Structure 1
Amino acid sequence: MTSTSDSPGIPSRLHRPAWAGRNYSLLTAAAIVTSLGANGSLIAAAFAVLDAGGDGGDVGLVAAARTLPLVLFLLIGGAVADRFPRHRVMVAANALNFLSQGAFAVLVLAGEPRLWQMMLLTALGGTGQAFFSPAAEGMLMSSVSGEQASRAFAVFRMAMQGAALGGAALGGALVAAIGPGWVLAVDAAAFAIAGTLRSFLDVSHIPPRTPGDGLLADLKEGWREFAGRPWLWGIVVQFSIANAVVGAADAVYGPLVARDSLGGPGPWGLALGAFGAGTVAGALLMTRWKPRRLLFVGTLCIFPLALPSAALAVPVPIGVLCAVMFVAGTTVEVFGVSWMTALHQEIPEEKLSRVSAYDWFGSVSLLPLATALAGPAEDAFGRSPALWGCAGLVVAVTAAVLLVPDVRDLTRRTLPVAASSESPDPERAAGGLG
C-alpha cells in the first residue's frame, strides 16, 4: 500500500530511524561537539605547557594531573549517577569542564601560566570527566532498546570516532594558526554547548530511584553486580593490562621510533590518523554486522591490537605501519560495539552507571603506571624487546580471557533485558549464558 506521503506532488518527510529517538539524537550531537573540542584541547594543553617554558616532563605532569582524579573519583561518579538523575550529573560535569577549560584558556591568553595552575585546572577537568563518563554511558544505554541497540551504539561510536579524528587534525592546525589559548577557549565553548543540549534530555521513561542506604552501600551493590559476572570482570582485567601497555607504546615508544626510524612526528601523526580511520570503519561495519556470540567475536578482534607494537618493534616502513594501525583500529571497534551491546543486554538499567564506572576504572587505572615504567623498561631491556613485550602481553591476556566460559558463550538476545538482575530471565535459559 502506498502512503499519502509518497503521492505525487506531496513531499515525503525524512524520518529518523525508530532506534534514533530524541534522547539518542541529543546525546550523539552533544558527544560530537565535545569530542571535536576535547581532542583539539589535548594538543593545545601540551603546547601551552611548552610555550610557557616547560619540557616533556612538565607535559607529563599536566597529563597525570588529569588522570589521577579520573581514577580516584570514577567509582564515586558511578554511584552518584545511579543515585541521581543522570542528565543532571552530566550537565553539572560539563559545567565544571567549561569553567576549568575557560580558566585555562584565560591563563594561557594572558601569558605566563604557572605549572601548578595548569595542573590544578587540568585536575578539575579530570574530576568532571570522572563523574560524567559513567553517567553518560548509563544514559546512552537507557536511550535505546530492542534489537537495534547494537546498530545505535555503532552509529554513536562512529560519530564519536569521526569527531575525534577531525578534532585532532583541526586542533593541531588551529594551535599552529591561532595559538593554544584560543583552542582551549573553543573547547570550553564546546562544553557549554554540549551541556545545554544534555539539559533537554527526557528522563521520564526511567523509573525513579528508590532511596538507598548511602553511597557506600551503593558502591558495594555495584561491586556485587560487577564481581558476580565472570565475563565482566574478566574482560575488564584483560583491558586494564592491554590498555596500559598499548597506551605506553603509543605515548612513549611510538614517538621515539618515529623520530629515529620513520621521519619524525609527521609520519607518526599519519599512523595515529590511520588508527582513527580504522575505528570509524569498524563502527560502520557494526551498523550492519550483528555477531551472535558477542564477546567471543569481540575478544578475537582484540588480538590484532598487538600488531602496532610488533610493527614498531621491527620497525616496519610507515606505509606498513599505517595499514597495521588501520586494521587494529577496525577490529578494536568491533569489540567496542559488541561490549556496549553486552552491557546493555545483561546489566539492569538502575546499575548501569556503577558497572560502567568499574569498567572505566579498570581501563585507566594501570595506564599511569605503565607510562611511567616505559622508560625504565627501555633502559633495562631495550626498546625493541620492550615493544615485543607489549605485543606479547596483549596476546596473553586476550587468550586468557577466552578461557572464561561466559566470554565464549554469551549470545545476543532478541528480546529486551529483564528489569533487574533478580527478575526471571527466560531468554538466558533459551540461549543466553551457557
Structure 2
Amino acid sequence: MTAGNLSVLRDRRVLALFSARSLSLLGNAMAPVAIAFAVLDSPGGSATSLGLVLAARLVTQVVFLLYGGIIADRFPRHRIMIVAELAAAAAQGTIAVLFITQHASLAMVALLATVNGMATALFEPASRAVLPQLVTGDKLQAANALLRFSMNTGSIVGASLAGILVATIGPGRTLAVDAATFLVSAILLMFVRVPAVLTPSGASLVAQLREGWREFTSTQWVWAMVAQLAIANICVAGGFVVLGPVVAKAHLGGAPAWGAVLTAQAVGFIVGSVTAMKLRPRYPVRAAALLTIGFTPPFFALAVPTHLIIIGAAMFVTGMCIDIYEVLFETAIQHHVPPESLSRVMSYESTGTFLFIPLGLAIAGPIADLAGVGPTLVGGGVVIIASALIVLMLPSVRGARRPDAEPDDGAEPAAVPDQPALNPQPSGGA
C-alpha cells in the first residue's frame, strides 16, 4: 500500500465515504451475531424463528434491490445513502430497545428486519455508483481496492467485536451499538456531496427498469460475467457454507478448525485488496474471468480432505482471488457504463449474482446425500472451472481493454469488435 494509492484519501469526500462504508460494514458484520443470540435467548426463541427473521431481511433486500438502483440514478447518491443509513439505524435501534425491555415479538422483529432489507437495497446501488463521481481515471481502480480493504477490515473487526459485546453486555445492547454505527455512518456521509446524474425523472419505474436492463444486456461481457459469477456463487455457497462445516466436523476437529479456515480466507481478502491496488492488467475482464478459477482450490482440498494447513492456504488463495476479481470487474463496469445508468446496472449485477445463492444452499445437502460430500465438492470445483473457460471463449471477455491501455500492436487504442476498450465516457454502451 503506497503513498500514491493513499493519495485519493486527501479528498475529504473520499475519506468520509471510506470511513462511512467501513462503519456500515462493521455494523452489518455485528448484526447477524447479535440478532441470532437475541432471538435465541428470547422466550420461545428457536432456529425456526431466527430463520424467519433472517429470511424476512434477505427476501426484502432482493425484491427492492432493482428499485434501489432506479432511485439512486434519479437523486444525489450521497443523500440516498444517508436516508438508508438513518433507516437502518432506526430499525436496529428499535429492535435493540424491544429486546432490552423484553417486549420483542417475532412479528415485530421480522417487520423491522424488512426495513433493514429495504435500507440495504437502497444503500447498495448508490454506494457502488458514487465512487466514480469522486475518483476518475487511473485512480479509480486503486480507490476501489482501497475501499474493499477498508470494508473487509470493518467486516472482520465487526464480527469479532460482536462476539465480545454479546458475551459482555448482551445481544440487545450489542444491537444498540450496531444501530449507532449506522447513525455515525450517516453523519459522515453528509460530507460526501455529489451532484445528481442527468436521468430523466418523468419516466415510469417500469420504463427505467427496462432502460437499465437494456444497458445491462447491451454489452456481452457484462452479462456473461454476471451469469458466470452466479454459477460460481451457487457452487461456493453450497461448497463453503454448507459442506465446509460438514467436512470440518467430520475430519478437521469441528468449529475451531473451520473458524481458522474462515480466518485464513478473511486474511486473503485483505491481501487481495492490497494486491489489487497495484495490478494494472491490460485486459481486466479477461483477468477477472481467470481469477474465478482461483475460487476452486478449497473444493478439492476439502474433498480429500487434506491437512488443515493446506485447506487454510487454499482458502487464503481463494480470498485473494475473490477480492481482486471484485475490484477488477467493478472498476471495468464503472468505466464502461454511463453515470446516469450505473446504479441500475449495478443493481442488476447484484441481483443476478446474489439471487441464486439460496439455490446453492438448498441443493448442496441433497446432492451430497446422493453422491457423497467429496464428489459433490469436486463437481462444484469442476463446474466453476468449466464456466470460466466458457466465458473466456467470448471475444468480448478476452478483448475488453483498460481505458488507458494501448493495444498489443502499439497502435492507438480503439474500440474494435475483438478488442473493445472499456469506454470511460458517459455517452453510451459498448
Taking a change above 3 Å as real, the CA distance of residues 404 and 279 of structure 1, as seen in their structure-2 partners, is same
Query: Counterpart in 2 of 1:162?
Result: 153
Query: Counterpart in 2 of 1:263?
Result: 253
Query: Counterpart in 2 of 1:125?
Result: 116
Can you list the C-alpha shifts for 1:111-157, whole angstroms capped at 9, x where unaligned? Answer: 37333333222222111111110011111222210111111111111
Match of 1:61, as an amino acid?
A: L
Query: Counterpart in 2 of 1:418?
Result: none
Q: Alpha-carbon deviation of 1:403?
A: 1.7
Deviates more, 1:171-180 or 1:322-331: 171-180
Can you list the C-alpha shifts for 1:310-357, whole angstroms capped at 9, x where unaligned? Answer: 222222222111111101001111111111210121111111100000
Counterpart pick for 2:169 among 178, 196, 205 = 178
Q: Alpha-carbon deviation of 1:267?
A: 1.6
Counterpart pick for 2:274 among 280, 284, 289 = 284
Deviates more, 1:38-47 or 1:334-343: 38-47
Q: Alpha-carbon deviation of 1:207?
A: 4.6
Query: Counterpart in 1 of 2:344?
Result: 354
Q: Which runs of 5+ in 1 are unaligned?
A: 1-13, 416-424
Deviates more, 1:401-410 or 1:195-204: 195-204
Structure 2 contact 75–197 (Cα < 8 Å) conserved = no
Query: Distance in 1 between the 2:118 and 2:298 partners?
Result: 31
Counterpart pick for 1:191 among 159, 182, 193 = 182
Taking a change above 3 Å as real, the CA distance of residues 58 and 308 of structure 1, as seen in their structure-2 partners, is farther
Can you list the C-alpha shifts for 1:393-427, whole angstroms capped at 9, x where unaligned? Answer: 22222222112211111111129xxxxxxxxx975
Q: Alpha-carbon deviation of 1:20?
A: 4.9
Match of 2:69, as an amino acid?
A: G
Match of 1:250, as an amino acid?
A: F
Partner of 1:291, secondary structure, is coil
Structure 2 contact 238–361 (Cα < 8 Å) conserved = yes
Query: Counterpart in 2 of 1:203?
Result: 194
Query: Counterpart in 1 of 2:263?
Result: 273
Partner of 2:280, secondary structure, is coil
Q: Which runs of 5+ in 2 are unaligned?
A: 406-411, 423-429
Taking a change above 3 Å as real, the CA distance of residues 210 and 335 of structure 1, as seen in their structure-2 partners, is same
Match of 2:154, as an amino acid?
A: A
Query: Counterpart in 2 of 1:25?
Result: 15
Query: Distance in 2 between the 1:256 and 1:59 partners?
Result: 21
Structure 2 contact 5–142 (Cα < 8 Å) conserved = no
- The reply on whether 1:36 has 2:26 as its aligned counterpart is yes
- The reply on whether 1:398 has 2:385 as its aligned counterpart is no
Counterpart pick for 1:99 among 63, 78, 90 = 90
Partner of 2:135, secondary structure, is coil
- The reply on whether 1:317 has 2:304 as its aligned counterpart is no
Can you list the C-alpha shifts for 1:297-321, whole angstroms capped at 9, x where unaligned? Answer: 1211111212222222222222111
Query: Counterpart in 1 of 2:129?
Result: 138
Partner of 1:17, secondary structure, is helix
- The reply on whether 1:71 has 2:58 as its aligned counterpart is no
Query: Counterpart in 2 of 1:153?
Result: 144
Query: Distance in 2 between the 1:295 and 1:36 partners?
Result: 30
- Please report the TM-score for the alignment, with normalisation by the length of structure 1: 0.89
Match of 2:338, as an amino acid?
A: P
Structure 1 contact 162–277 (Cα < 8 Å) conserved = no
Can you list the C-alpha shifts for 1:238-292, whole angstroms capped at 9, x where unaligned? Answer: 1112112212323222222222222221221121111111011011011112111
Query: Distance in 2 between the 1:122 and 1:267 partners?
Result: 32
- The reply on whether 1:303 has 2:290 as its aligned counterpart is no
Can you list the C-alpha shifts for 1:189-239, whole angstroms capped at 9, x where unaligned? Answer: 0111111111222224x5544433221111111000011111000011111
RMSD: 2.3
Query: Counterpart in 1 of 2:217?
Result: 227
Counterpart pick for 1:408 among 395, 398, 401 = 398
Deviates more, 1:293-302 or 1:310-319: 310-319
Deviates more, 1:109-118 or 1:304-313: 109-118
Query: Counterpart in 2 of 1:212?
Result: 202
Structure 1 contact 80–215 (Cα < 8 Å) conserved = no
- Please report the TM-score for the alignment, with normalisation by the length of structure 2: 0.89
Taking a change above 3 Å as real, the CA distance of residues 101 and 328 of structure 1, as seen in their structure-2 partners, is same
Match of 2:347, as an amino acid?
A: A
Structure 1 contact 49–59 (Cα < 8 Å) conserved = yes
- The reply on whether 1:384 has 2:371 as its aligned counterpart is no
